[in-house]
Amino acid sequence: MMRLEVIVTQFPDLEIVELTGWIDRGWVRPEPDGQFEAIDIARIRLIYDLRRSLDVAEDAVPMILALLDQVYDLRTTLKAVSAALETQPPGVRDAVLAAMAGAAAP
């Protein structure tokens, strides 16, 4: 875990005031003690890249983050469904896979 002052040193031209603004907007959420975990630092890197490398407008960042959060949640759910499906008898797995294939057909 890292503190705000250490994090800004990892990103060229990222100022504490800008990172604090991201926190105020809810784009990044440090722990109650002010520390950032690895997942938070990855999110900071994403926001930094969106703003600097991709020149994404500030007002578009919340929408992008929300969509990426939905994709992450969906992946987590699909992994759980897949793990649950693996514990089922072969007949149940086959029936579910067949139903999924039928639902995906045009």
What's the pLDDT score for residue 61?
A: 98
79: phi then psi, degrees, rounded to nearest 5: -65, -40
What's the pLDDT score for residue 106?
A: 72
- Angle, CA of 53, 58 and 59, to the nearest 5°: 140
What's the pLDDT score for residue 102?
A: 87
Digit-by-digit pLDDT tens for the chain (106 residues) are 788 889 999 998 999 999 999 999 999 999 999 899 999 999 999 999 999 999 999 999 999 999 999 999 999 999 999 999 999 999 999 999 899 898 877 7
What's the pLDDT score for residue 14?
A: 95
